[in-house]
Amino acid sequence: MSLTAESVKGFFREYLRYPIGIVGLILFVILLFMAVSFEIYGDQEAIRNWFTNTQYFEDYPKTVPPCWFEELRGRNPTPTLVLKADDPETSQLLAEKLRASVVRGDEGYVRLIINMEFDVTGNKPPVDVYSTLFMAYNVTEGFMYVEKIYLERPDGSEFVFVEKKEGPQLPVVGGLPAQLQQPGVRIDSVFPGMPLKKLKGSSVSFSLKSMATSQSLLQRFVIPSLQEQGVDVSQVGFGNIATNLYKAIFSTDPVNSLVTGSFDVLNGTYRLNIIFLAQEAEIDVQPEKLVVKGSCYGLLGTDDQGRDLFQGLLYGTRWALIVGLLTSAITVVFGSLYGIVSGYLGGIADEVMLRFAQIIYSLPALPLLILFAAIIGGNIWVIIFLIVAFSWPGIAFVTRSMAFQIKSEPYVEAAIASGAGTVRIVLLYLAPQVLPYMFASMALSVPGAVIAEASLSFLNLGDPDLVTWGKILFEAQDAGAALNGYWWWVIPPGLAIAVVGMTFVFIGNALDAILNPKLKR
């Protein structure tokens, strides 16, 4: 075995004698795996749309906790379900859960029947349930009417939102005028009474929550239906009905829930049925997606935009390691060489270099970092440069004092006497003696760099295009996450910063104990 291989083996054997070093190494491997695994398991599209397109996250519930946390609290949450026609993994299930059929009757009447089926499994109802379908139709006579909208509950009962009565009646659900013919327009949110006809085609959404909170539907259909069931609406109050109706439709006792506001969720399969009626119409409907916004999501919940915080934490790991390792490496190498050259040259050159380093060292680093980041801009590479610019003097002071001692060694004096140049002496005779200190310093410098970048991002002075832990904390603070109890938005990124710092402190202390003879036990 070569001398180099034997030395490396001996170093690791010595390193494994320190439990704190083993813990640090394990944590580093975990962090490295998280950084690399994002390319395999991460959602690249979510990161690309994180800041620029919040509509990308509209299908996900906002500020909901992780599912495992709800289960630990003894709750059985309804999970989020997103089924899309263009997703091979969910398209088959979408075809089973969201169906549209066209039934032609006598006298040219055509019925379009849309069925949305979903399961409620927890003790909290879903935040919302909605579907999107591409509808292309052409009504040659009259208008297209909504004949009936009703929800079939697991206990066999029905909750009717809209029911067309006998006799002349205007369309009860709004249509799509030209200015609203855009994908994602919710048909139930348009003002009632507007006809739906002769539309070439667009994506239309049907939201269960929008129907349950629609003032027009409440006044025209829901309240009369409740009165027919014997509910004293005047005693309950219109405001209570409007507030409690959405949750009441999932309750084991809807009427009592409307009156008291208390809920026991009725679990099982629900089906929302929407029936359109038209005459002499050509209709083509293609389901696009079905979304059940549950009361929990994923491993780390979501923020106020519906973004998966686990994806942000996973992606932020790579930039924490890049900033920490790159900054510490450049800082230590530059500071060490600066100090070695200063100590070796001595005289006036050493005095000038020392005073310059002392000036930089005396400057308030964080306020200047904030100032320059605000003026120059928060590009990540600019931030790394600024952190390096204010971090190297401390390393230089130590290596300068070491160079003073090393240059008086006989082998260095012999090299000088033989005519070796300054560069050769610095790189081949002085620097190798300083390497042990450099390695330990690199590890111990990482936490400071990570915290500096996180501090700038927390002040919204970081890179605006990168998802970092500091940026996540800034958005959490801006949204009042701590005040509102959204712990999953605050604790994980803060804990991640602490873990990175702890990891490299453990590794650095172990290296220092091994490479510094004075610290060896």
Q: Give me the tens of pLDDT residue by residue for the chain, a chain 521 residues long.
A: 455 667 777 778 888 888 999 999 999 999 999 999 888 888 899 999 999 888 889 889 999 999 888 888 877 788 888 999 888 888 899 989 999 888 887 666 788 889 999 998 878 888 889 888 887 766 665 566 777 888 999 998 888 877 765 433 333 333 333 332 333 333 333 333 333 443 455 677 788 888 887 777 777 767 777 777 777 777 777 777 777 888 888 988 887 787 777 788 899 999 999 888 777 667 778 888 999 998 889 899 999 999 999 999 999 999 999 999 999 999 999 999 999 999 988 889 999 999 999 999 999 988 998 898 888 877 899 999 999 999 999 999 999 999 988 888 888 888 888 888 888 888 888 888 888 889 889 999 999 999 999 999 999 888 888 999 999 999 999 999 999 999 999 999 999 999 999 999 999 988 888 877 555 55
CA–CA dist 139, 152 (Å, integer): 29
Residues 264 and 361 in one domain: no
Asked whether residue 4 is domain-assigned, the answer is no
Query: What is the reported pLDDT for 195?
Result: 38
Residues 117 and 265 in one domain: yes
* Residue numbers of the domain that contains 223: 76-172+185-296
Residues 135 and 281 in one domain: yes
Query: What is the reported pLDDT for 301?
Result: 93
Residues 234 and 318 in one domain: no
Asked whether residue 21 is domain-assigned, the answer is no
Q: What is the CATH number of the domain that holds 414?
A: 1.10.3720.10
Residues 474 and 513 in one domain: yes
Asked whether residue 379 is domain-assigned, the answer is yes
CA–CA dist 483, 476 (Å, integer): 10
Strands in 31-108 per DSSP E: 81-84, 98-104
Residues 336 and 458 in one domain: yes
Asked whether residue 394 is domain-assigned, the answer is yes
Q: At 484, give phi and psi (nearest 5°).
A: -90, 0
Residue count of the chain: 521
Asked whether residue 40 is domain-assigned, the answer is yes
Separation of CA 498 from chain center = 19
Residues 324 and 357 in one domain: yes
Query: What is the reported pLDDT for 3?
Result: 53
Q: How many DSSP H helices and E strands does the chain contain? A: 22, 8
Spatial contact of 336 and 450, defined as CB atoms under 8 Å apart: no
Residues 348 and 381 in one domain: yes
Q: What is the largest CA-CA distance in the chain?
A: 114
Residues 285 and 397 in one domain: no
Q: Which of 239, 271, 296 is the last residue of a domain?
A: 296
Asked whether residue 56 is domain-assigned, the answer is no
Residues 98 and 240 in one domain: yes
Q: Which of 238, 267, 296 is the last residue of a domain?
A: 296
Number of domains in the chain: 2
Asked whether residue 416 is domain-assigned, the answer is yes
Query: What is the reported pLDDT for 280?
Result: 67
Spatial contact of 358 and 342, defined as CB atoms under 8 Å apart: no
Query: What is the reported pLDDT for 172?
Result: 34
CA–CA dist 67, 78 (Å, integer): 9
What is the SS3 assignment for 313-346? Answer: HHHHHHHHHHHHHHHHHHHHHHHHHHHHHHHHHC
Spatial contact of 60 and 80, defined as CB atoms under 8 Å apart: yes
Q: Which of 269, 296, 323 is the last residue of a domain?
A: 296
Query: What is the reported pLDDT for 518?
Result: 57
Asked whether residue 57 is domain-assigned, the answer is no
Residues 254 and 398 in one domain: no
Residues 441 and 513 in one domain: yes
Query: What is the reported pLDDT for 281?
Result: 67
